[in-house]
Chains A and B, each alone.
Chain A
Amino acid sequence: MNADIHALTGAYALNAIPEFERAEFERHLVECESCAQEVRELRATATRLGEAASEAPPPELKARVLARIAEVRQLPPVDDLSARRERRSGVPLATKLFGAAAAVLMVVSVSLGVLLVRNGNELDQSRDQAAAMSNLLSAGDAKVVSGTAAGGLSGTVLLSRDRGQVMLLAGNVPAAPDGKIYQVWLMGEGAPKSIGLMAPNASGQASLLNTGGIGGAQNIGVTVEPSGGSATPSPDVVMQMELPV
């Protein structure tokens, strides 16, 4: 187990982990039962902090909430069996997405062999991811570009400069060497800017979403870095793509 990533249990339990690191940590949780157990305990601890802040809401809120439930459909329980089957095959449920975004996503996924990660604890995460993706694709200026690097590594980038959001989906990503991790950079305007770390799942798929602004970046690149990530990119570039204007 990687000691550095394990230290994130506290930040994760406090929901103090940026979006781009959450996905990676949740993948780690699936494989690390002791980490998952620690997260459960630390979440229960955080709950006590939350309860200590208890404050009665304005009384009129209750009637409003009770009136609203008449309009909200309840979800059925998760079907364990189908969830498990789905986990094994690794096929995403496109039905979780809606409308045009789902159609675009299907095309992107199928044509590039890029699949959303979905297993066990990652259900929430991939739902978030799917939501983030449909949200991004709904931007008026949304663009999709894709390409293949040497070694068969494929990448698709969704971006909206207006919204300052970029999502990278990569396939055929080999596991990073021991003690190393992939780091993603935006380049073009001044120094390269890190937008996060990513690790491929067992099927060699990796993804990353960053909502911190794109600025005038012209390229997106992926490098291999020491496991905690680096402040500046190493020369070990595994993929680089030009971003549409």
Chain B
Amino acid sequence: MAERVRRIAEVPAVAPSPPDAADLLQQVARGDEHAFEGLYDLVSGPVYGLVRRIVRDPAQSEEVTQEVMLELWRTAARYAPERGSAMTWVMTLAHRRAVDRVRSAQAATDREDRAHRRETTREFDEVAEVVSTRLEHEQVRRCLSTLTDLQRESVELAYYRGLTYREVSELLGTPLGTIKTRLRDGLIRMRDCLGVAR
């Protein structure tokens, strides 16, 4: 009997469909603070994770995450579904803010010690490795592994380190045109592997 009760209790009630970022954004646009809390719960993990990967410093990553969340609150009404999914909108903003943060910090550093500028030949192998092995999403990892080494390194350095394609080119000692092309065909291969809607 106890067994039966437990089994019944385990049957999930009709699961309410999980809140969707686009719906939440729409409610947030009307000033719904409760919906904003839902949006926070939904996107703060992906936003913070991405920002953290680019910015690395935890305190600064928190600041950037906060900026992104407040920007979502401020501009929710400007989200245009025909231009892409809500999650893409959120993550594009997060990436951009994180990159702005590291590039302006970098510009300051560059000015301060222009003399030491050529030390950029860094341990990209190690970085790329860490990025690849930590990816939570098995599918993304699997798809990344279908890329050529140069495609994968280029995509990871650009996206997870926030480098421009010119910096990637310099770091990998590969011509600009090649990097441009590898970023594009690498992403196209990822798109097809992940089945991203056309």
Residues of A within 8 A of B (CB): 4, 7-11, 13-18, 40-58, 61-62, 64-66, 68-69, 72-78, 164, 211-213, 228
Contacts and interface: CB of A to CB of B under 8 A. Distances in A.
Interface stretch (B1-9, B12-20, B36-44): B36-44
B127 interface: no
Contact-size category for B: 35 or more
Contacts of A13: 187
The interface residues of chain B, by DSSP majority, are classed as helix
Contacts of B92: 15, 43, 46-47
Given A4-B177, A40-B84, A44-B85, 16 more contacts: A10-B185, A10-B187, A10-B188, A11-B158, A14-B155, A14-B158, A15-B96, A43-B84, A45-B187, A48-B190, A65-B69, A66-B40, A68-B66, A69-B36, A77-B77, A211-B107
Interface in B28-80: 29, 31, 33, 36-37, 40, 44-50, 52-53, 58, 62, 65-66, 69-70, 73-78
30 contacts: A7-B184, A10-B182, A10-B183, A11-B165, A11-B180, A11-B184, A15-B95, A15-B96, A15-B99, A16-B163, A16-B183, A17-B165, A40-B83, A41-B198, A42-B188, A47-B87, A50-B159, A52-B136, A52-B141, A53-B134, A55-B45, A55-B49, A56-B44, A65-B40, A65-B44, A66-B37, A72-B70, A74-B77, A76-B77, A164-B107
Contacts of A16: 158-159, 162-165, 168, 183
A16 B99 CA distance: 9
B137 A10 contact: no
Interface string B89-123: 00110111001000000010011000000000000
Contact of B196 (A4, A48, A53): A48
Contacts of B99: 15
Contacts of A8: 180, 184
Interface of B: 29, 31, 33, 36-37, 40, 44-50, 52-53, 58, 62, 65-66, 69-70, 73-78, 83-85, 87-88, 91-92, 94-96, 99, 107, 110-111, 131, 134-137, 140-141, 155, 158-160, 162-166, 168, 177, 179-188, 190-191, 194, 196-198
B177 A7 contact: yes
B191 A41 contact: yes
Contacts of B158: 11, 14-16
A20 to B, nearest CB: 10
B74 A7 contact: no
A51 B91 contact: yes
A8 B185 CA distance: 11
A191 to B, nearest CB: 16
A73 B53 CA distance: 30
Contacts of A56: 44-45, 48
A69 B74 CA distance: 8
A57 B185 contact: no
Q: Which 9 A-B pairs have the closest CB atoms?
A: A10-B184, A10-B183, A55-B49, A16-B158, A57-B48, A52-B137, A52-B140, A54-B49, A77-B77
A18 B166 contact: yes
B155 to A, nearest CB: 7
